Amino acid sequence: MVKIPEVMFKYCPKCGKHSKMKVKQEKSARRAGGFSAMARKEKNKRRGYGNLGRFSKRPVTQTKMASKTSKKVDLRLACPDCGKSWVLSYPRTKRVEFIK
Protein backbone atom coordinates (compact mmCIF):
# COMPACT_ATOMS: atom_id res chain seq x y z
CA MET A 1 0.00 0.00 0.00
CA VAL A 2 1.20 3.49 -0.81
CA LYS A 3 0.28 6.59 1.18
CA ILE A 4 -0.02 9.68 -0.96
CA PRO A 5 -0.50 13.20 0.44
CA GLU A 6 -3.70 15.01 -0.56
CA VAL A 7 -1.80 18.23 -1.19
CA MET A 8 1.58 18.22 -2.93
CA PHE A 9 4.06 21.04 -3.32
CA LYS A 10 4.87 20.75 -7.02
CA TYR A 11 6.18 22.80 -9.91
CA CYS A 12 3.65 24.23 -12.36
CA PRO A 13 5.15 24.59 -15.87
CA LYS A 14 2.58 27.20 -16.87
CA CYS A 15 3.11 29.52 -13.88
CA GLY A 16 6.82 28.71 -13.65
CA LYS A 17 6.80 28.29 -9.88
CA HIS A 18 6.02 25.82 -7.12
CA SER A 19 2.62 25.80 -5.45
CA LYS A 20 0.43 23.55 -3.33
CA MET A 21 -1.66 21.33 -5.55
CA LYS A 22 -4.61 19.09 -4.89
CA VAL A 23 -4.09 15.47 -5.82
CA LYS A 24 -6.79 13.16 -7.10
CA GLN A 25 -6.62 9.65 -8.40
CA GLU A 26 -7.24 9.46 -12.12
CA LYS A 27 -9.79 6.86 -13.09
CA SER A 28 -8.25 3.69 -14.39
CA ALA A 29 -10.40 3.80 -17.56
CA ARG A 30 -7.85 6.15 -19.07
CA ARG A 31 -5.26 3.40 -19.13
CA ALA A 32 -7.51 0.36 -19.50
CA GLY A 33 -8.04 0.36 -23.26
CA GLY A 34 -4.80 1.44 -24.82
CA PHE A 35 -1.07 1.17 -24.54
CA SER A 36 1.42 3.91 -23.80
CA ALA A 37 3.79 5.01 -26.56
CA MET A 38 6.64 2.90 -25.18
CA ALA A 39 4.43 -0.15 -24.72
CA ARG A 40 3.22 0.16 -28.31
CA LYS A 41 6.81 0.35 -29.56
CA GLU A 42 7.74 -2.73 -27.54
CA LYS A 43 4.71 -4.59 -28.86
CA ASN A 44 5.66 -3.82 -32.47
CA LYS A 45 9.22 -4.94 -31.84
CA ARG A 46 8.04 -8.33 -30.61
CA ARG A 47 5.88 -8.99 -33.64
CA GLY A 48 6.57 -12.40 -35.06
CA TYR A 49 8.00 -13.83 -31.84
CA GLY A 50 6.31 -16.09 -29.31
CA ASN A 51 3.78 -18.81 -29.81
CA LEU A 52 0.28 -18.20 -31.08
CA GLY A 53 -1.29 -20.90 -28.97
CA ARG A 54 -1.62 -24.48 -30.13
CA PHE A 55 -3.24 -27.59 -28.72
CA SER A 56 -1.26 -27.75 -25.50
CA LYS A 57 -0.63 -24.07 -24.67
CA ARG A 58 -2.42 -20.79 -24.61
CA PRO A 59 -0.91 -17.85 -26.49
CA VAL A 60 2.02 -16.20 -24.71
CA THR A 61 0.29 -12.83 -24.57
CA GLN A 62 -2.70 -14.17 -22.66
CA THR A 63 -0.67 -15.84 -19.94
CA LYS A 64 1.89 -13.06 -19.48
CA MET A 65 -0.56 -10.17 -19.40
CA ALA A 66 -2.68 -11.67 -16.63
CA SER A 67 0.26 -12.35 -14.32
CA LYS A 68 0.47 -8.96 -12.59
CA THR A 69 -1.64 -8.36 -9.52
CA SER A 70 -0.86 -4.68 -9.02
CA LYS A 71 -1.75 -1.65 -11.09
CA LYS A 72 0.01 1.56 -11.98
CA VAL A 73 -1.48 4.59 -10.28
CA ASP A 74 -2.27 7.77 -12.13
CA LEU A 75 -2.56 10.96 -10.13
CA ARG A 76 -4.14 14.13 -11.42
CA LEU A 77 -2.59 17.35 -10.16
CA ALA A 78 -4.38 20.67 -10.51
CA CYS A 79 -2.74 24.08 -10.13
CA PRO A 80 -4.82 26.40 -7.91
CA ASP A 81 -3.51 29.57 -9.61
CA CYS A 82 -3.98 28.89 -13.32
CA GLY A 83 -6.24 25.84 -13.27
CA LYS A 84 -3.94 23.72 -15.39
CA SER A 85 -4.07 20.02 -14.60
CA TRP A 86 -1.97 17.08 -15.67
CA VAL A 87 -1.36 13.44 -14.93
CA LEU A 88 1.52 12.13 -12.86
CA SER A 89 2.11 8.42 -13.03
CA TYR A 90 3.13 6.52 -9.94
CA PRO A 91 4.82 3.13 -9.51
CA ARG A 92 2.88 -0.12 -9.30
CA THR A 93 0.93 -0.77 -6.17
CA LYS A 94 -2.05 -2.78 -5.03
CA ARG A 95 -3.73 -0.13 -2.94
CA VAL A 96 -3.58 3.65 -2.62
CA GLU A 97 -4.46 5.69 0.44
CA PHE A 98 -4.63 9.46 0.56
CA ILE A 99 -3.38 11.07 3.75
CA LYS A 100 -3.65 14.66 4.99
Map the chain to HEC letters: CEEEECEEEEEECCCCEEEEEEEEECCCHHHHCCCCHHHHHHHHHCCCCCCCCCCCCCCHHHHHHCCCCCEEEEEEEECCCCCCEEEEEEEEECCEEEEC
To Zn ion, the closest distance from the beta carbon of 69 in angstroms equals: 37
Instruction: Determine if 87 is a binding residue for Zn ion (CB under 5 A).
Output: no
With binding defined as CB under 5 A, does residue 81 bind Zn ion?
A: yes
Q: Show the binding pattern over residues 10-29: x = contacts Zn ion (CB under 5 A), - = does not.
A: --x-xx--------------
Instruction: Provide, rounded to whole angstroms, the least separation between the CB of residue 14 and Zn ion.
Output: 5
For Zn ion, the binding residues (CB under 5 A) are 12, 14-15, 79, 81-82
